[in-house]
Chain A
Amino acid sequence: MGTGVLEAHALRKVFGGLVAVNDVSFTIAEGGVKAMIGPNGAGKTTIFNLLCGVYPLTAGGFRIGGKRGDGRLPHVIAHMGLARTFQNVQLFSNMSAIENVMVGWHRRGRAGFLAAALRLPWSRAEDRAARKACVEKLGFVGLADRADDEALSLPFGQQRLVELARALASEPRLLLLDEPAAGLSTREKADLARLVRRICEQGVTILLVDHDMDFVMDISDMVIVLDHGEKIAEGPPREVQKNARVIAAYLGEEVGPAD
């Protein structure tokens, strides 16, 4: 028994005849930034979707904070303290930036249908407190002045940040970031790296997937490498970079004898 925020045992996902994730096990210890890397089709995003309950597992299981997570619906897993962002930013249309972040806050609130319909005093107080907390989250990612802008009218880089603020608004224990640096400029990437470290300092454990090796190696303290749905290496960035199987997976196998 590990003591990690997340313990995954032999995760397996089969789509039709394709084994997308092949018995992958890993433990994410509390605190720090972990990265999951691998060539296209290695199964990274699939693992994210398994962990947050979007896809059902074919076999295997996982625990979040010691509680069973497999076989549960996404909103139940969210209540266990897992939040995520998406590879293709998925903000809610026709809603302002702050409203988007407030959906992220959803699990912290309790005002239901009746309380909302009748505008009961405690539900209004709760909503005011929520707005305040969410404005803070937007401020944290540097978008305090964009709170009332329609979320989808913002430039792409800022949409990414709104999504990040939305994930943070649920006060997660574990935050999954799916290619957070994709499509960002060099400067934006540097800003993002700083932001990720600050989130980490607040005690949130981060698991991220990205293709940008400089970004990943710079930011993470542990790396899991996947290839064709299997885990081929795990360790600190420096060690993983020297691993022969990792180099082969990224650059291709050597065919002829080496010089």
Chain B
Amino acid sequence: MVAVGVVAALVAALPFVLRNQYYVGIAVFVGINAIVAIGLNLLMGYAGQVSLGHAAFIALGAYTSAILTTRTGLSPWLAMPVAVALASLIAAVIGVPTLRLHGHYLAMATLGFGMIVSIVINEWVSLTGGTSGLVDIPRLSLAGLALDSDTKYYYLVWACVAASLLLSFNIVNSRVGRALRAVHTSEVAAATCGVNIARTKLQVFVLSAALAGLAGSLYAHQLQFVGPGHTFGFGFSIELVVMVVFGGLATIWGAIVGAGVVTVLGEYLRRVGDRDVAVFGIVLILLLVFMPRGLVHGLASLTRRLRREP
């Protein structure tokens, strides 16, 4: 509990420490990515399934919010649940046939789904604005207070991160969570205990897509613009997987650490241009060699070792 309090205080104090609005803006994106990574961590770390198309669920959330608020004038607060619901619904449609099968069919299906979404974004110009995208997406406001600065938005996003974290912890330490972890070790043993494997996996997948939809909606209202780009593409789906592996599979805190490291690293590497992919690759390989269970576990065992040998 103390650790949670310390982390919460650090997160709350961060905008005052950073001062620079550019850095606060990055911290907003760390939060948005962390929401996606928390959901993906449940899917990969606990249900043992990989999604290679989670960026497409972010796109779905972002475009749903964008289209509803700019075309129909719907309140952003009403558009957001619609975005989450649509992402969940589509995840269910993809998940029902693929999660009945053993093996990594979900990875293939989500890969294809990501490609379809990319094509729709680019080609369905009347709906999505094509390559020019959609502009003038309204900002969110809370009880009459417009969240018109990065600092104000930062608190909203990180409140959502905290809520997602809480949700994950509650699930992992519940009847469903134990079933999930059991499925990951032995599907046969879990099934003979009465766990409906396909259904459990499907529920986690839908939840992870819902969180990605929420993140997408938050993204749209922060940038006030959506268009075909990095965040919605295959490359970013891979980056999300990297975040989860970085932080450590089945380590809920790890999802946030991974999102932080990868987002900040990505921002920094933008300066070296196209070589960022190569640097990412090298960092990932080094991590897997030296800290195969992820950054959180790796650092914890490193400090233990240092303490024992002063």
**Chain A residues within CB distance 8 Å of chain B:** 52-54, 73-75, 77-79, 83-84, 86, 90-95, 99-100, 102-104, 106-107, 109, 111-113, 116-119, 123, 126-127, 130, 166, 170
Say whether, besides A78-B192, A90-B189, A109-B175, A103 and B182 are in contact (CB < 8 Å). yes
Say whether, besides A90-B186, A95-B182, A118-B170, A75 and B191 are in contact (CB < 8 Å). yes
Q: In the complex, are the beta carbons of B194 and A79 less than 8 A apart? A: yes
The one of B167, B171, B191, B203 in contact with A74, judged by C-beta atoms closer than 8 angstroms, is B191
Nearest 7 CB-CB pairings of A with B: A107-B194, A116-B174, A78-B194, A74-B191, A90-B189, A92-B185, A103-B182
Q: Which residues of A contact B197 (CB under 8 A)?
A: 75
Q: Which residues of A contact B31 (CB under 8 A)?
A: none
B139 within 8 A of A: no
Q: Which residues of B contact A104 (CB under 8 A)?
A: 193
Distance between Cα atoms of A141 and B270 in the complex (Å) = 60
A-B residue pairs in contact (CB < 8 Å), sample of 24: A73-B191, A74-B188, A75-B194, A75-B195, A77-B192, A78-B192, A78-B193, A84-B192, A90-B188, A92-B186, A99-B178, A99-B181, A100-B182, A102-B175, A103-B178, A103-B193, A111-B174, A111-B176, A112-B176, A113-B207, A117-B207, A123-B174, A127-B175, A170-B193
What size tier do the contact residues of chain B reach?
20 to 34
B141 within 8 A of A: no
| A115 closest partner in B (C-beta) | B174
Q: Which residues of B contact A112 (CB under 8 A)?
A: 176, 203
B residues 154-207 in Cβ contact with A at 8 Å: 167, 170-171, 174-179, 181-182, 185-186, 188-197, 203, 207
Q: Which residues of A contact B176 (CB under 8 A)?
A: 111-113, 116
The one of A54, A94, A111, A170 in contact with B175, judged by C-beta atoms closer than 8 angstroms, is A111
Say whether, besides A92-B185, A93-B185, A117-B170, A130 and B194 are in contact (CB < 8 Å). no
Q: In the complex, are the beta carbons of A94 and B174 less than 8 A apart? A: no
Q: Which residues of A contact B186 (CB under 8 A)?
A: 90, 92
- Excluding A92-B185, A92-B190, 4 further A-B contacts by CB distance (< 8 Å) are A78-B192, A103-B182, A106-B194, A111-B175
B306 to chain A, nearest CB (A): 24
Q: In the complex, are the beta carbons of B194 and A86 less than 8 A apart? A: no
Say whether, besides A113-B176, A116-B175, A54 and B195 are in contact (CB < 8 Å). no
Distance between Cα atoms of A90 and B185 in the complex (Å) = 9
Distance between Cα atoms of A113 and B207 in the complex (Å) = 9
Q: In the complex, are the beta carbons of A106 and B185 less than 8 A apart? A: no
A32 to chain B, nearest CB (A): 22
Q: Which residues of A contact B181 (CB under 8 A)?
A: 92, 94-95, 99
Distance between Cα atoms of A99 and B190 in the complex (Å) = 12
Q: In the complex, are the beta carbons of A75 and B196 less than 8 A apart? A: yes
A163 to chain B, nearest CB (A): 9
Q: In the complex, are the beta carbons of B171 and A94 less than 8 A apart? A: no
Most central of B174, B177, B179, B192 by chain A CB within 10 Å: B192
Q: In the complex, are the beta carbons of B171 and A86 less than 8 A apart? A: no
| A123 closest partner in B (C-beta) | B174
Distance between Cα atoms of A130 and B98 in the complex (Å) = 32
Q: Which residues of A contact B195 (CB under 8 A)?
A: 75, 103, 106
Distance between Cα atoms of A53 and B175 in the complex (Å) = 23
The one of B192, B196, B207 in contact with A54, judged by C-beta atoms closer than 8 angstroms, is B192
Most central of B171, B175, B177 by chain A CB within 10 Å: B175
The one of B182, B189, B203 in contact with A113, judged by C-beta atoms closer than 8 angstroms, is B203
A151 to chain B, nearest CB (A): 10
A212 to chain B, nearest CB (A): 24
Q: In the complex, are the beta carbons of B178 and A106 less than 8 A apart? A: yes
B148 to chain A, nearest CB (A): 31
Q: Which residues of A contact B171 (CB under 8 A)?
A: 113, 116-117
Distance between Cα atoms of A126 and B189 in the complex (Å) = 23
B179 to chain A, nearest CB (A): 6
Say whether, besides A73-B191, A90-B186, A130 and B175 are in contact (CB < 8 Å). yes
| A169 closest partner in B (C-beta) | B193
| A130 closest partner in B (C-beta) | B175
Distance between Cα atoms of A112 and B196 in the complex (Å) = 12
A15 to chain B, nearest CB (A): 17
